[in-house]
Structure 1
Amino acid sequence: MDSLWRKEANRVESLYINLFKSTDSQFVDETKKWDEHVQTLKSKHSEVPAKNNEKSSELIRKGSELFCNKQFYHAMELYTKALCYAEVGTENESMAFASRAKCFFYMKMYQQAMTDIELALEANCPAEMIVKLEKLRADCRKVVISNSNELTEPKRSFTDDRNFPCIANTLTITNNTQFGRHLVAKCDIDVGQMVLMEQSFASVAKSDEQMTCYNCLTEVANFIACSKCSDVVFCSNKCLEENLVHQLDCNTPYHRMHCKAKFTIQTILIAVAAFPNIDDLIECVEAGEKDDVLPESITDLQSKYRLYLRLKKLPLNANVVLDVYKLFKSIMIIPSIERAFDSEGKQRFLMHLILHHLAINVTNATESEYTASIGTVLSLLNHSCAPNLYNYSVDNRKFCVTIRPVKKGEQLFISYLGPDDEQTAKQRQHLLKTKWNFECKCDKCEPRGQIADSTKMKLDPCFKFIQRTFKTDQVDNMNTSAVKKKCIKFLTKYGHLPFSNELKYISDIYTTLI
């Protein structure tokens, strides 16, 4: 990390130092193996046609076998993959849409079924299939489609901030020597208020098995395929048009790389896509190294990238240069990147940019079972083992809801630990120190709760109601609205108190129901 952004000489025109100067001697076997791996990846990609009706037909056949066995979800996924390989303007496109429509119908997703019927009819649909599709559409229309079963979109509880639209205007970003950059409340905020809704700056699916929208990571939708490659799908034309990165990685070996490599490479691709040319990107990065001021707003991709560059990054060990080498060699087989970084000076810059991004991602990125992602404003929130915010993800979006009342001027905290927050204080402190290099001083790590308060909470009517009513195996059949209201009432009444098992018990139930 000491080498990051160092130049060969103290002159403006000097090149950045070659980070890989010693890799051949230090990691000779590893670099040789990786070079061979990258060349193999490149060769295999060039041998596979982007669109292939033979492959598409085989996937449709396998999907039909699953459909006959009533494995509708898995059949639907195979039909989507068949759509990816279908040659544009051929019957395979309409066959894939029509077959997927039947899956949606039997999965009781009638609106999705009708959308796929329309897509099939708009494609090169044979006459005999049109008759079947019209019948299926009529069957869909016979079903009473109730909006009550549709997922409701989470909504902010306040007006958006003008300059940082992903947060409520009741929050502000501030900075001090103790906490660094962080978010504080501009007024009192009640329990249960959605105060942050942010689309991830970068996000990738961790598995290629599950079909997800390349732009927003939606898992089940009326996916449409890219017309030039068989690697990605989009849930709508809007997502297809929004995604600037795919213009750079379309029909390239990028999509056959490991998800960890893809994630950091995607952040580089976003940086390239944000600027008209590499010189402008270099100017932006170098300006950020001279000052550490946040952008005044994040209403476009360039300003979001400027905020991303200013996220905290922790030092990495010396061996990270091998990871940077692997990422550099991988990204340079993407034709658009090879063309963009066409000089020694630009390639040296790219080496350092990868190291910079890697340090940011290691410090700030989060992983779920299915995705890896990073939020920019979310990454400004500090940690507490007893947080006043609950943060969660849906597809590639981040959400924060208050689980304690927040007073004007108070800082907002999330937990970085997820399931690990059940560990002992010593274990938590070790994990926080190892990964994020700080010690937590919250009221869970340094208990200040009173026995009298715990007793009072246990006797509270809301606590007794929740304890009596909530059963984890009966969530779908219980009156969740009533339980949520009791949770909010209890947390509003006692949330100002120091951490206690009673507060955690109720907040855990509340977050289960969000």
Structure 2
Amino acid sequence: MDNLFKHYSRQVRCSDTEVNKEFLKIYKHDKHIEDWLTTLTSKLDLKDDAKANTLRCQANQLYKSKRFKDSFEIYTKAMCIASIDGNEIGLIVANRSALFYMMDYFEDSLKDIEFSLQCYCPDDVKLKLYIRRIKCYAKMNVKDKLKEALDFLENSHLIVTDEKKTEILSFVEIKKTDSIREVNEELPLLTAGPNPKFLYASSVIRLSFDKLRGRHVIANIDIKPGDVLFVEKPFVFAPVFVNDNIEMSSTKCYNCLKTIYSSIPCSFCVKTIYCDINCRKKCWEEFHRWECFGMRCNLWYYIGIGFPALRTIIKGVSTGLCTLETKFEDDTARFGVVDNNYPYFNKLVSNLSKMENVLPLIISAGVVVLFLETYTDFFDWLNEQSPDCYTKAGLIELIGGQITKHIAQLQCNSSVIHHISNRTLDDGGSVACAIYPSISMMNHSCSANVKISYIREVAVVRASEKISKGEEVFNCYGIDYRYADRQTRQDRCSQYYHFTCDCKICQRPELEMFVLDE
């Protein structure tokens, strides 16, 4: 994107109400966006069985060297690159199943065995998979499945040598080995139950409003450390790229962010993995049918926060891309709807009118709109949702302006989903950019009184200290007093969020030192 932005020197200022027209003026007459996108789409990452074969051989060598984590990552990458109906993908997944078996990940090994058997596999590989399936069930001591696997092998057309029969019998009698299972942590319950007026929030807090603080969160009663204040599903999230090689995570389902090891790839792009066919189908129908070609040309890597902005637009179409026309005071009576929270998201502050230059946001939105117009059927689909309401130019103006606004809203309100690693093959770290409208209602403090953790895509907010009845509940927007001095914090709040922080620790810098021994 830097190569695109260098063509622009002028500045554009506008408000939320003016952004649609400003977008269309630039989009109609700008050739730089088209040239940049044409260059990007001329180089595609496509399925390539020869490359997949090379990666499989590389992963095999890593496996032999006991570098299991590196081997797993290369196998998964090779699986994504292999054509979905070619001769390579079955071999790759078969080899990955052997890795899982070696690491006592028996459930994952079994999933990969079944996936591999649905693909092309020569008879010698099938025999290994049938025997490995028997070994998995023997290790897990699942007797009914073990008998089925034994019967299946006996009735197959494959020739089993006496040596193999002896090996199989030895495993049938083997003692049970505990399989390493994925820890799927259950979502906690909200302390004192849900607040009927505040979606995803506890009844121990409420949404309030005044002219000085805007919308903010107040404690209804005395809150104890550890009390659960929010358990919020994101309105929308977009997975993030994990390194300079423009890769997606090899352990997170692209659709639900569940930590997975056995996975299936997208049928078309080489980036995304899924828990199963259901997750892949759901994601395709909701988002990925318009994202997939962008993955093949690495558009979403370069467009940054324009990626979740696209998903936001798609989610908003069913609501008519509407914004609540109510006053902020009215939100205290009700905030949020379960089915589609777009109207409440669309009311989040964008700070467009406070920005010195909106042009970079407009250019980013222009790239997304031109991509949708040129390489997808998005606008045909959009016209079907609201026939005869807009001309093509009208739809482009509407979508471009809204994406520009959503990029600004995401810059001010989004959260980075961070997972903590608890398995050998999973590094954890930042996995997605998400928007949580209810959590966004908390104001900032450089010394927050809450802590946020993530279970898959869900954010869990707990009190980190006692909060007395009537006190405000504060989040930290990533500018913590423990890691930045006062001037740095003030500069970042002004630059990214367009306000001056006057939290207690900014008003009294001596409080930063209270943890030190005297």
TM-score of the alignment, normalized to the shorter chain, above 0.5: yes
Q: Following TM superposition, by how much is the alpha carbon of 1:172 offset from its aligned partner in structure 2, in angstroms?
A: 2.5
Q: 2:151 corresponds to which residue?
A: none
Q: Following TM superposition, by how much is the alpha carbon of 1:197 offset from its aligned partner in structure 2, in angstroms?
A: 2.7
Query: Aligned to 1:247, which of 289, 292, 296?
Result: 289
Between the aligned partners of 2:48 and 2:202, the Cα distance in structure 1 is 48
Contact 1:173 1:182 in 2 (8 A): yes
Q: 1:42-61 alignment to 2 at 5 Å?
A: 42-45=41-44, 49=46, 51-61=47-57
Contact 2:308 2:433 in 1 (8 A): no
Q: Does 1:17 align with 2:78?
A: no
Between the aligned partners of 1:113 and 1:220, the Cα distance in structure 2 is 12
Query: Aligned to 1:74, which of 70, 75, 87?
Result: 70
Between the aligned partners of 2:275 and 2:450, the Cα distance in structure 1 is 30
Cα distance, 1:83–1:162 mapped onto 2, change above 3 Å: farther
Q: 1:493 corresponds to which residue?
A: none
Provide the secondary structure at the position in 2 that maps to 1:17: helix
Output one character per residue of 1:180-233: Cα deviation in whole Å (capped at 9) or x when no partner.
112223333221123223333223313333334222344543221223443321
Q: Does 1:264 align with 2:302?
A: no
Q: 2:155 corresponds to which residue?
A: none
Query: Aligned to 1:408, which of 455, 463, 469?
Result: 469
Q: Does 1:202 align with 2:237?
A: yes
Query: Aligned to 1:350, which of 374, 387, 399?
Result: 399
Between the aligned partners of 2:181 and 2:73, the Cα distance in structure 1 is 26
Output one character per residue of 1:132-191: Cα deviation in whole Å (capped at 9) or x when no partner.
224334154355326798464452353344565533333322222222112223333221
More relative contact order, 1 or 2 (CA 8 Å, 6+ apart): 2
Between the aligned partners of 1:131 and 1:499, the Cα distance in structure 2 is 65
Between the aligned partners of 1:419 and 1:220, the Cα distance in structure 2 is 32
State the AA in 1 paired with 2:177. V
Q: Following TM superposition, by how much is the alpha carbon of 1:380 offset from its aligned partner in structure 2, in angstroms?
A: 1.3
Cα distance, 1:245–1:78 mapped onto 2, change above 3 Å: same
Output one character per residue of 1:296-329: Cα deviation in whole Å (capped at 9) or x when no partner.
53211x3x21121111222353532243123313
Q: Aligned residue pairs: how many?
A: 432
Between the aligned partners of 2:255 and 2:499, the Cα distance in structure 1 is 34
Q: 2:91 corresponds to which residue?
A: 95
Unpaired runs of 5+ residues, structure 2, are 1-12, 141-174, 384-390, 419-428
Provide the secondary structure at the position in 2 that maps to 1:401: strand
Between the aligned partners of 2:132 and 2:364, the Cα distance in structure 1 is 51
Q: Following TM superposition, by how much is the alpha carbon of 1:387 offset from its aligned partner in structure 2, in angstroms?
A: 1.8
Using the TM superposition, name which of 415-424 and 74-83 deviates more.
415-424
Output one character per residue of 1:24-51: Cα deviation in whole Å (capped at 9) or x when no partner.
99xxxxx655432201223334xx65x4
Q: 1:170 corresponds to which residue?
A: 204
Cα distance, 1:419–1:412 mapped onto 2, change above 3 Å: closer
Cα distance, 1:438–1:57 mapped onto 2, change above 3 Å: same
Q: 1:361-400 alignment to 2 at 5 Å?
A: 361-367=410-416, 370=430, 371-393=432-454, 396-400=457-461
- If the length of structure 1 is used for normalisation, what is the TM-score? 0.72
Contact 2:199 2:335 in 1 (8 A): no
Cα distance, 1:150–1:20 mapped onto 2, change above 3 Å: closer
Q: Following TM superposition, by how much is the alpha carbon of 1:417 offset from its aligned partner in structure 2, in angstroms?
A: 2.9
Identity level (%): 21
Q: Following TM superposition, by how much is the alpha carbon of 1:384 offset from its aligned partner in structure 2, in angstroms?
A: 1.6
Q: 1:37-436 alignment to 2 at 5 Å?
A: 37-45=36-44, 49=46, 51-137=47-133, 138-139=135-136, 140-141=139-140, 144-145=177-178, 150=183, 152-158=185-191, 159-162=193-196, 166-200=200-234, 201-207=236-242, 208-209=246-247, 210-211=249-250, 212-218=252-258, 220-243=260-283, 244-252=286-294, 256-259=298-301, 261-276=303-318, 281-282=320-321, 284-285=322-323, 288=324, 294=331, 296-300=335-339, 302=340, 304-315=341-352, 317-334=355-372, 335-339=376-380, 340=382, 343-367=392-416, 370=430, 371-393=432-454, 396-418=457-479, 421-436=482-497
Contact 1:272 1:281 in 2 (8 A): no
Q: 2:157 corresponds to which residue?
A: none
Q: Following TM superposition, by how much is the alpha carbon of 1:2 offset from its aligned partner in structure 2, in angstroms?
A: 2.5
Q: Following TM superposition, by how much is the alpha carbon of 1:364 offset from its aligned partner in structure 2, in angstroms?
A: 1.5
Contact 2:80 2:271 in 1 (8 A): yes
Cα distance, 1:388–1:76 mapped onto 2, change above 3 Å: same
Q: 1:492 corresponds to which residue?
A: none
State the AA in 1 paired with 2:273. V
Between the aligned partners of 2:57 and 2:513, the Cα distance in structure 1 is 57
Contact 1:443 1:499 in 2 (8 A): no
Cα distance, 1:204–1:147 mapped onto 2, change above 3 Å: closer
Between the aligned partners of 1:343 and 1:351, the Cα distance in structure 2 is 12
Q: Following TM superposition, by how much is the alpha carbon of 1:242 offset from its aligned partner in structure 2, in angstroms?
A: 4.2
Contact 1:23 1:322 in 2 (8 A): no
Query: Aligned to 2:499, which of 420, 438, 447?
Result: 438
Using the TM superposition, name which of 246-255 and 78-87 deviates more.
246-255
Between the aligned partners of 1:226 and 1:39, the Cα distance in structure 2 is 24
Contact 1:254 1:262 in 2 (8 A): no
Output one character per residue of 1:337-385: Cα deviation in whole Å (capped at 9) or x when no partner.
3434771111111221122112101212244663433322221111122
Q: Following TM superposition, by how much is the alpha carbon of 1:333 offset from its aligned partner in structure 2, in angstroms?
A: 1.7
Cα distance, 1:71–1:215 mapped onto 2, change above 3 Å: same
Q: Following TM superposition, by how much is the alpha carbon of 1:22 offset from its aligned partner in structure 2, in angstroms?
A: 6.0
Cα distance, 1:422–1:253 mapped onto 2, change above 3 Å: closer
Q: Greater helix percent: which structure? A: 1
State the AA in 2 paired with 1:382. N
Cα distance, 1:401–1:94 mapped onto 2, change above 3 Å: same
Provide the secondary structure at the position in 2 that maps to 1:19: helix
Output one character per residue of 1:418-452: Cα deviation in whole Å (capped at 9) or x when no partner.
55643333432333233323333433233499xxx
Unpaired runs of 5+ residues, structure 1, are 8-15, 26-30, 450-497, 506-514
Cα distance, 1:226–1:147 mapped onto 2, change above 3 Å: closer
